[in-house]
A and B are shown apart, each in its own frame.
Chain A
Amino acid sequence: MTKSLSKVNAASLKVLYTLQLLFERDLTMNELIKYYELYHNEYNSNFVMSKYINTCRYCGIDIKKINNKYQIVNFPIGIGFTNNELSLFSELKNCCEKMKIQHLSESMQELLNKINRRAERPISPVSTSVIKDSNIKTFEKACLLSQKVKITFKNDESIQCEPVEVSIGDDKIKLIVFSGNNSKELSPDEIKQVRILPQKSNNKFLPTTVLFEVKGKLAKKYQLRDNEEVMRILSNGDLVIKNRFEDKTKLFHRLMRYGDNCKLVSPKLYVAEMKEFIEETLKNYA
């Protein structure tokens, strides 16, 4: 606001102020009058405010009164979206519904509200009815509160563990926890109940560090994961990779994929288990 008020058009300014207020949030007439007075130190009557709203409407800005609140339904100034672009947002929305993660759905809905203002055909809201898995909700809450949880499985076994996050992969939700010294991925389908315990999560948790070698061609094109770093580069170009936080079973299956271009180095227990894992696979062909 660098210009002095004497060089501006007062009536235009009032219309633009009104538009700005409605652009920020949906407001009832009384709220609009109140906010206007609060921010711009001027009282306007219902009639005057209606005139400003009508001015915006005349310019093609679709302002509707929904549940007694004035709401900008369509704002044609600025970025617009083609039907194809809207189909991308729809695709993301559908995927979001499948993921059933509450905070993600809420953020996606906020985003869609903004996109819909600039769309000729609005995208339907994210269906919140799909977020019905109370175990996932409880787990998410425990993550936010940093409190331990007791997870009871459908076979009535249970574990006490530290919740890390709700993760999504291959269209499946997984609950990531620290239990013992390992990071584990649990499937919500196997869980009967998640209960938040009064104990705080232990921030000093030390996950198992796994070292493995990648060799030959694989070493040249190996792409490090977020949870990995190169520990050493050997003289022949092979790499020693340090991995933490990865679910053991998942890691074993991944390393198997690399065949003899990969060798687990430590910890000893994992090396022994990997050897057994390979031997068991070989037994299938005995």
Chain B
Amino acid sequence: MFKFDEQCNPRQISLTGVRAIVILALLNIKPCTFEEIKDFLISSNIVTREYSIDTIRIDLNTLKYIGCDISKATKTTNNMYILRSHPFQLTLDEEEVEALAKIYKNIYKNLSIERLLEYDNLFEKLSDSVKDENIKEYLRGISVLKGLDKELINELLRDSYKNTRLTIEYKPGASKTVEYDITVEKLGFRSDKLYIYCYNHTINKRTFLNFSRLKGILARALRSDKVNTDDVFVEFELKNSQNYVLEETEEVLSQDGETLKVKGAYYTDFIALQRMLSFGPDCVVLSPSNFKEKIVEKLQSMRAQYD
């Protein structure tokens, strides 16, 4: 619980000083009664059995004098001394937290949901340990998972590992609520929102559902449900490729100067379509032909808006 440096010469230390630091460290770990503190100090050869309640009051007063906030041991605290704050707490300033937020914002898109949950816990822990209320708030606001139900995220992750078939209540719009039978494949971010990528048995296709519109899991099938679903594969030519960053699921097949021939795998048709359109004139879809037709139709419909 507490490591003393036995190499220090006992004649070159202040035993009363040791007592104060040890009490601070003990109370920092957990609230303690007088007896618990005394027992630990005796077992560590810091005090004798004569150590009294009056002496501990002086030790606690000393700690309070330098800024520790320690409660009295009363019936309401189960006769425990509780350390509420102390001057050796972690202090972070705004620039440091801002740096943390900027760096995190830059990498979060490349992180798994499991890793994002770990970051979420870390920011929560840092927030709990600092005293400044503004810094606390700032730290709580960094995580992209802020305000989301972490327990539900964890449940869905477990369901995705096991391919569990779920019946969920989902609110696609402002008014109605629908029930869907889904098998979760993964969770991921799109446009800064958390989505559930799943096979939707109710509409018999792959889809992605906005996590914040999920109202609850109504039922879980006992057996796992293996669904055979395929990504949408699109081959395309990308000009001025230096202006773009390819996604993990996009593979370069060949290169001619700044023009790349790329094969991309996308979760749904819709995602593939959005991706191709976002390249503008720099992209030419090569195959499959039915997808190429969809792109042309979409572009014609877009142009018609400006006629």
Contact = CB atoms under 8 A, between A and B. Distances in A.
A66 interface: no
Interface in B248-307: 273-275, 277-281, 283-285, 292, 295-296, 298-306
Interface string A196-217: 0000000000000000000000
B29 to A, nearest CB: 9
Nearest to A190: B242
A1 B63 CA distance: 9
A8 interface: yes
Interface residues of A, number: 78
Given A8-B62, A14-B17, A79-B129, A281 B192 contact: no
A70 interface: no
A236 B133 CA distance: 43
> What secondary structure prevails in chain B residues at the interface with A?
helix
B245 to A, nearest CB: 5
A11 B8 contact: no
B34 to A, nearest CB: 17
A285 B296 contact: yes
Interface residues of B, number: 83
Contacts of B222: none
Contact of B14 (A11, A95, A110, A275): A11
Given A99-B103, A275-B306, A260 B283 contact: no
Contact of B96 (A78, A85, A111, A285): A111
A256 B280 contact: yes
A280 interface: yes
Contacts of A285: 284-285, 292, 295-296, 299
Interface in A149-185: 168-172
A136 B90 CA distance: 32
A95 B105 CA distance: 11
A254 B277 CA distance: 9
Given A220-B173, A253-B280, A285-B284, A96 B299 contact: no
A34 interface: no
B3 A259 contact: no
Interface stretch (B118-126, B144-152, B158-166, B225-233): B118-126
18 contacts: A8-B58, A12-B14, A12-B20, A15-B17, A15-B18, A19-B21, A20-B87, A60-B25, A79-B89, A96-B103, A104-B99, A110-B95, A111-B92, A114-B96, A256-B302, A281-B281, A282-B303, A285-B285
Interface of B: 2-5, 8-9, 12-14, 16-22, 24-25, 28, 57-59, 61-67, 86-93, 95-96, 98-100, 102-104, 106-107, 118-119, 122, 125-126, 129, 173-174, 191-193, 210, 245, 273-275, 277-281, 283-285, 292, 295-296, 298-306
Interface of A: 1-3, 5, 7-9, 11-17, 19-20, 23, 50-52, 54-61, 75-79, 84-85, 88, 91-92, 95-96, 99, 103-104, 107-108, 110-111, 114, 118, 168-172, 220-221, 223, 252-254, 256-260, 263, 271, 274-275, 277-285
